[in-house]
Structure 1
Amino acid sequence: MTEAIHVRGLRVWAHVGVYEHERRHGQWFELAFSLGVDLGAVARSDDLSQGFDYGRGIAALQEQARTVRCLTLEHYSERILDLLEDCYGPIPLALELSKCQVPVPGFDGSVAVSRKRRWG
Structure 2
Amino acid sequence: MGIIALEGMEFFAYHGFYEEERKVGNRFIVDLAVTLDLTQPAQTDKLSQTVNYEVLYNIVKEEMEIQSHLLENMAGRVLDKIYHKYPHIESVTVSIAKQNPPVGGVCRQSKITLTR
* TM-score, structure 1 normalization: 0.85
5+ long unaligned stretches in structure 1: none
After TM superposition, give the deviation of residue 105 of structure 1 in Å. 2.8
Backbone CA RMSD of aligned residues: 1.6
Residue in structure 2 matching 1:87, options 85, 88, 91: 85
**Secondary structure, counterpart of 1:64 in structure 2:** helix
| CA displacement, residues 15-57 of structure 1 (integer Å, 9 cap, x when unaligned) | 2111102112321111111111111111112122222101101
- 2:13 aligned partner: 14
Displaced runs of 4 or more, over 4 A: none
| Structure 2 gap ranges (5+) | none
Distance 1:82 1:57 in 2: 12
Q: Which residue of 1 aligns with 2:39?
A: 40
Q: CA deviation at 1:90?
A: 5.7
How much identity, in percent, do the aligned residues show? Answer: 27
1:66-120 per-residue CA deviation (whole Å, 9 max, x = no partner) reads 2x12211122221221222222226311111111121123313111111110xxx
TM-score by length of 2: 0.87
Q: 1:69 to 1:35 in 2, by over 3 A?
A: same
Q: How many residues align?
A: 115
Aligned to 2:58: 59
The change in CA–CA distance for 1:86 and 1:13 in structure 2 (over 3 A counts) is farther
